[in-house]
Amino acid sequence: MEKLIKSSGAFDPLLIKNDFPVFKRRIHGKPLIYLDNAATTQKPQSVIHSIDNYYRQHNSNIHRGVHTLSYESTVMYEDAHKKVADFIGAHDWRNIIFTRNATEAINLLAYGWGLHNLKKGDEVLITIMEHHSNIVPWQMLRDLKGIKINVLGIDDKGDLLLDELPALLTERTKLVSMIHASNVLGTVNPIKHIIQEAKKVGALVLIDAAQSIPHMPIDVNDLGCDFLVASGHKMMGPTGIGFIYGRQELLEDMEPFMYGGDMIEKVTLEKSTWNELPWKYEAGTPNIAGGIGLGAAVDYIQNIGLPNIYQHEQEILRYALEKMSEFDWINIYGHKSDSQSVGVVSFNVEGVHPHDVAGMLDEEGIAVRSGHHCAQPLMHELSMDFTARVSFYVYNSKEEIDLCIQTLKKVKKLFG
């Protein structure tokens, strides 16, 4: 890894690619160009090896086993929690709960906290940018408990309407649940300011960091958030693993989301008591290999350095926006202000359905996303149903952007 970092602090994405077996593939006879990182990132060999090594050398269930394999597996799985805690600046690794993904983490909060703490007339504030996973659970509570969902909108540049925030934050606001970075517009929201405003009315704050945590440093103590969720597969980890960070006193007070083995302290036929954190919320046999793989992904990101990743991604983003803006038939959404952005560009080619755009790009070995990106309310706000989307990460290069643009020109020529 150290050979990948240049003296300037930048790194060579072509060398980075050597760490990712998938880039040895050819798609339709062409080298793979992967521009779908907002959906999921590719996995470095170190992550794949960590999972393979666990199953080959250490496979056993964790906790309570006294034999060597169980002890080793327990230590490796707990170490993964510690790596994630260090990664986001959490003071105690026991405040990190592993889930299947960010979606399950939000549901854990909706059921474990919301179901028992929200009552009719209470309000939850979200934004129009939210992924469906940060809308639907609160709609469930609205229908079940009679809470109200308020929505902070955006302006024509794709930025949140912060002037409307004071009117939406009232003594009835019990939770602000919002996305850190939009998976459609790329906009990085000013969450520290919003957290400070929310605290003035006594509201808790949940941050969905799925789109930001692989790309920029995050410190939960500096932000002052109460909860933060993320998915491992968007940060070069395996699928089926994610996490939630929560303030200890809140996690101690909340009810479990799932009930059964390992989340208990003592069980009688009359009643049960709950295990200590984080196991209180990790019922049953967990995704041990996935947790270890997530820890390896954190190691990989830390070795490169998030500041280096962010700098590289910003260079690729600026280059892509500059090249795409040369053509008036490419309509770009967002990126119209000076707000901070991650490497996500949603666009449409005039007169061409996004699925056709994605299909032709695939013929050239270029993987992009097309659809509503699990953000249909935002799509409606933008007066559309679907977009194409390119999203960048450590292994992408300016040369790949050039090849993508060349193909888009062919798309426009073919469809007229």
Among candidate residues 85, 374, 382, 394, the one labeled active-site is: 374
Kindly give, in sequence order, each residue whose CB lies less than 8 Å from that of residue 150, ignoring residues fewer than 6 positions away. Answer: 123, 124, 125, 126, 168, 173
Given the DSSP bridges, would you call strands 148-152 and 123-127 parallel, antiparallel or unpaired?
A: parallel
DSSP annotation of 7: T
* Annotation says 374 is catalytic: yes
Determine phi and psi for 276, rounding to 5 degrees: -75, 165
Neighbours of 120 (CB within 10 A): 8
Exposure on the CB side of residue 134, measured as CA atoms within 13 A:
32
Residue with tokens 């410190």: 219
On the question of a cis peptide bond just before residue 278, with omega within 30 degrees of 0, the verdict is yes
- Decide: helix, strand or coil at residue 309: helix
Q: Name the token pair of 239.
A: 């699928």
Question: How many whole angstroms separate alpha carbon 158 and alpha carbon 336?
Answer: 7
Q: Name the token pair of 387.
A: 């977009």
So which residues are the catalytic ones? 374
